[in-house]
Chains A and B, each alone.
Chain A
């Protein structure tokens, strides 16, 4: 096989995958999410963090593809100061199965997050490491209108720089 072939084929494959859906479904299938939550590490010697995130979703009936950016936040030692902390941010890609219930959607997703963790000791950054972590999440979404959806759920990130992180979260979604 010629080495260059896969690079020539993958953009075409993407187009084939997405373009038909885009033109097939008349409903709004682009979504932007803003999310806030709490990051709870499995390592109990650290305090919870505040989580922020944004995501872009390509929605087709029953299955969504979501890409996002998440600040998992600052994890400080519970007996220490803010100067001793881990700052974790990441980008993620996720596939979501949408189950339509009575007036509410149940979204079950799984994906992978590419995270970067910066370690601070006495306020000095002493280390920075990249990691890849699988995660899963469950979300309940309620449409307020055709454009706006409120949602709440919980995500589980596995082994982010040595600790599992549970993220209860809520957010607002704009469809267009």
Chain B
């Protein structure tokens, strides 16, 4: 009897310690932070699939720093919620009399962001620190390409109007899937269409080899001209040997307008296209 009792106590205590350990001292509850003290980082990603992904992270007083030292991350509690939507704020909607149809529509346009764990997908050049408190949500793509993230608060001021326009969809024309290139001898020409004015461009190229070697390369393009040339040797690396699977990611990014209630913030939308090729020495 006592053994069972103590087992329960130890198990409960372990769970408590485990839960506490999930967030370190650099994380505070949202109930202890005013909206005007929050720096918001919102990132929206589209990879051309039937889902658009949103990631959000809130930090106190300042933007998350590259080293993450001194950053204070905010954990949502006490009825504070982040909603990801295709533009309209859930707090401002008129549902009308037909709640059945309204719910159908809402499922396509609004979602509650939930505490998330990093799964390694689609977060290129991200400003979010995925080992600290962050939130995720996904929705079907919006026809207009407009997205918004709203922070609704139980007590303090809501910050409902952070919006961004997703860069237009595009297709990768070259290289083609499963093409083979020599990292040291071949020029790699990356082409896409259509081009778009007003977006920032970046490339990220990740290689992983049969023997477990891994390396990545990234570069920022000055403008969207529909192509980028990587000279022979650009992908050559002492960390890569033999045949490697290489994923080429082309990313168009557009910044939006974050809600002025925040101390500061950054909301960005990223249109990503990827192709996987084989690279050799």
Contacts and interface: CB of A to CB of B under 8 A. Distances in A.
Contact of B95 (A85, A119, A122, A163): A119
Interface in B97-112: 97-104, 106-107, 110-112
Contacts of B112: 121-124
A84 B101 contact: no
Interface string B69-105: 0000000000001000000001000011111111110
Contacts of A119: 95, 99, 102-103
A87 to B, nearest CB: 11
B99 A121 contact: no
A117 B96 CA distance: 12
Nearest to A81: B107
B100 A84 contact: no
B81 A43 contact: no
Interface string A29-45: 00000000000010101
Interface string A55-89: 00000000000000000000101001000111000
A102 interface: no
Max chain A C-beta neighbours (<10 A), residue from B96, B99, B101, B111:
B99
Interface in B104-132: 104, 106-107, 110-112, 114
Contacts of A43: 100-101, 104
A161 B100 contact: yes
Contacts of A127: 95, 99, 102
A86 B111 contact: no
Interface in B231-265: none
A160 to B, nearest CB: 9
Contact of A161 (B90, B97, B106, B114): B97
B97 A162 contact: yes
B222 to A, nearest CB: 41
Nearest to B97: A162
A45 B99 CA distance: 13
B110 A121 contact: yes
A119 B96 CA distance: 12
A86 B103 contact: yes
A77 B95 contact: no
A162 B95 CA distance: 11
B110 A46 contact: no
B94 to A, nearest CB: 10
B99 A162 contact: yes
A129 interface: yes
B107 A86 contact: no
A130 B99 CA distance: 11
A126 interface: yes
A121 B106 contact: yes
Contact of A162 (B101, B106, B114): B101
B102 to A, nearest CB: 7
A46 B104 CA distance: 9
Interface of B: 81, 90, 95-104, 106-107, 110-112, 114
Given A45-B104, A162-B100, 15 more contacts: A41-B100, A43-B104, A77-B103, A84-B103, A86-B100, A86-B103, A119-B103, A121-B107, A122-B111, A122-B112, A122-B114, A124-B112, A127-B99, A129-B95, A163-B100
Interface of A: 41, 43, 45-46, 75, 77, 80, 84-86, 117, 119, 121-124, 126-127, 129, 131, 161-163
12 contacts: A41-B100, A45-B100, A75-B100, A85-B103, A121-B106, A121-B112, A123-B112, A126-B90, A161-B99, A162-B98, A162-B100, A162-B102
In order of increasing CB-CB distance, the 10 nearest A-B pairs are: A162-B98, A122-B112, A161-B99, A43-B100, A162-B100, A163-B100, A127-B95, A84-B107, A121-B106, A119-B99
